[in-house]
């Protein structure tokens, strides 16, 4: 009888340890709910939207052009785990990005864009050709008029190590629930 009771206690302890592990591991390595702050991604995402971010693709370099990602704006924010920025990937590692007259050029060719909700009158550091490093991404907010993004000297291209994940789904508000493209 005592042996059976001891076995049950061990099973309960192991189950609780596994549950605690999952509680911490899933948000850190698999998926996390984030609340959007600000209006730099309008008309795709809005202030206070709840989004689901998958974190697996960042480990395999599976970030593509036009993906919406979350990232830390600098190393200090990454260390402290403070707020993410949410932006759209425009330039990929090794590419040359330039913005001329409100149009984005990748490797000297204009790219089709249907995401920008406002004119881009400030090219910032991409006014001249900007060559991305082998682990850097050029990101823009969809609301180009108010977005602090890779055009800014303070932010610049985003290193892969600061990417938190890829936005895949809007959870709330319910009237706009759905996949994020």
> Domains of the chain: which residue ranges?
33-179
State residue 87's pLDDT score.
96
pTM higher than 0.85 for the full model?
A: no
State residue 150's pLDDT score.
96
What is 6-24 written as a DSSP string?
HHHHHHHHHHHHHHHHHHH
- How crowded is residue 159: how many other Cβ atoms within 10 Å of its Cβ? 16
Superfamily per CATH, domain 33-179: Umud Fragment, subunit A (2.10.109.10)
pLDDT over threshold 60, residue 156: yes
Q: What is the pLDDT of residues 100-147, one digit of tens each?
A: 988 999 999 999 888 766 778 899 999 999 999 999 999 999 998 889
What is the band of 173 on the pLDDT scale with cuts at 50, 70, 90? very high
The Cα angle at residue 163 between residues 158 and 164, in degrees rounded to 5:
155
Q: What is the pLDDT of residues 11-70, one digit of tens each?
A: 777 777 666 665 665 566 667 888 999 999 998 999 999 998 998 876 676 799 999 999
Strands (E), the chain: 31-35, 50-54, 68-71, 85-91, 96-100, 103-106, 109-110, 130-131, 136-140, 158-159, 163-172, 178-179
Catalytic site residues?
A: 40, 87
């Amino acid at each position: 009888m005592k042996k059976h009771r001891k076995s049950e206690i061990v099973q309960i302890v192991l189950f609780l340890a596994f549950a605690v592990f999952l509680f911490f591991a899933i948000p850190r390595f698999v998926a996390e709910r984030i609340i959007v702050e600000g209006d730099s991604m309008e008309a795709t995402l809005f202030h206070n939207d709840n989004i689901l971010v998958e974190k697996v693709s960042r480990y395999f370099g599976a970030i593509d052009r036009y993906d919406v990602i979350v990232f830390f704006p600098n190393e200090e924010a990454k260390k402290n785990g403070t707020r993410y920025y949410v932006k759209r990937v425009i330039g990929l590692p090794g590419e040359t990005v330039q913005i001329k007259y409100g149009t984005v050029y990748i490797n000297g060719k204009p790219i089709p864009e249907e995401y920008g909700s406002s004119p881009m009158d400030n090219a910032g550091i991409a006014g001249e050709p900007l060559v991305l490093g082998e682990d850097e991404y050029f990101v823009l907010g969809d609301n180009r008029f108010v977005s602090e993004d890779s055009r800014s000297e303070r932010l610049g291209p985003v290193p892969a190590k600061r990417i938190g994940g890829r936005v895949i789904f809007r959870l709330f508000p319910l009237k706009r629930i759905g996949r994020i493209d």
